Structure formats: C-alpha cells, structure tokens
C-alpha cells in the first residue's frame, strides 16, 4: 500500500495533484456505496466501528513504525477501510464529508492547549482532566475512564 503521502506531497506541486485525485476517490466511494444500496446509517455505523477496531488491532500490536515512510499493508488497509465507511456514512446522512472535515478543522485549528500523554487537551479542560487521571491511577475506577473519554471528546 502506498504510504507517506502526507509527508512526501505536502508543500509541493504534487500535493495539489494528489488532493485532486483524492476528491475523485471520494466521489467514487460515494457512488460505490449508492450502487451497493448502502443506506442504513446504523448498519453503516457498525461498519465504521468494525473498521476502526481493525486500526486498533494493528496499533495495539505495534504494527507500525513512526520512523518509516511506509507502514504495513494491513495498517494502511485498515485506515483506508475506515475512511471508506465514514465517507459512505456521511453520504447516507446527506453530509458532505469534505465540509465535515473543514468544519472540524476550523473548530480545532485555533485551539490552545497542551499535549498530555500523546493527547491534545484544550486549555480549559487540562485541570479537570489531570485531576481525573490522577484519581483514576489511584482507584482504577472504570467510570472515571468513561468520564476522561467524555472530557476529551468535548469541543
């Protein structure tokens, strides 16, 4: 599987060409989903979760190398499958996947905060998060893990 596009094309004329090809792939994925009769958002959400689980499988087993330009085929395939399922889900819900991405990036691009244990934490959420993580480390209370995830998911 091709790897390293986000690095080898960024900032070059090739990046623009790659981006245009990617838009064509998105329309192809949407058309494919429609042709296959994929129109149930709950069933498609289950596919999204399944494919994200495959990414988790590869990552938790350390099937990646951050120093390499290319990653294992299985990881690339899992990420590609997850993107396909999310694009199809957005179409089922009458959402433009590019508009969703632009809106999400617009919301996060100006955020201030710090990276804590590999996760970006917005400035206004840092103290509650640190307190919860500290308490979770002491108690191993699973409900705190849920609360931590909820706090990280807040916008």
Per-residue pLDDT at 127: 66
Taking the C-alpha atoms of residue 121 and residue 145, their distance in angstroms, rounded to an integer, is 15
- Could you report the per-residue pLDDT of 56-81, keeping only the tens digit for each? 999 998 888 887 777 888 998 999 99
Average pLDDT, the chain: 83
Determine the average pLDDT of the residues in 35-51: 97
Taking the C-alpha atoms of residue 112 and residue 108, their distance in angstroms, rounded to an integer, is 9
Q: Is the pLDDT of residue 7 over 60?
A: no
Q: Is the pLDDT of residue 9 over 50?
A: no
Q: Which of 4 and 98 is assigned the larger pLDDT?
A: 98
Domains recognised in the chain with CATH numbers: 5-107 (1.10.287.1080), 112-153 (no CATH)
Other Cβ atoms closer than 10 A to 82: 19
Neighbouring-strand partners of residue 25: none
Q: Among 32, 34, 26, 38, which residue's Cα sits nearest to residue 83?
A: 26
Per-residue pLDDT at 136: 78
């Amino acid at each position: 599987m091709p790897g390293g596009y986000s690095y080898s094309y960024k900032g070059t004329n090739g990046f623009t060409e790659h981006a245009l090809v990617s838009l064509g792939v998105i329309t192809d994925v949407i058309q494919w989903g429609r042709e296959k009769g994929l129109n149930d958002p709950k069933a498609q959400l289950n596919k999204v979760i399944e494919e994200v689980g495959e990414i988790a499988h590869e990552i938790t087993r350390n099937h990646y190398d951050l120093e390499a330009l290319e990653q294992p085929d299985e990881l690339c395939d899992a990420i590609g499958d997850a993107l396909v399922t999310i694009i199809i889900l957005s179409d089922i819900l009458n959402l433009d996947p590019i508009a969703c991405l632009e809106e999400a990036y617009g919301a996060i691009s100006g955020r201030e905060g710090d990276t804590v244990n590999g996760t970006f934490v917005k400035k206004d959420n840092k103290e509650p998060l640190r307190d919860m993580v500290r308490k979770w480390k002491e108690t191993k209370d699973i409900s705190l893990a849920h609360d931590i995830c909820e706090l990280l998911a807040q916008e």
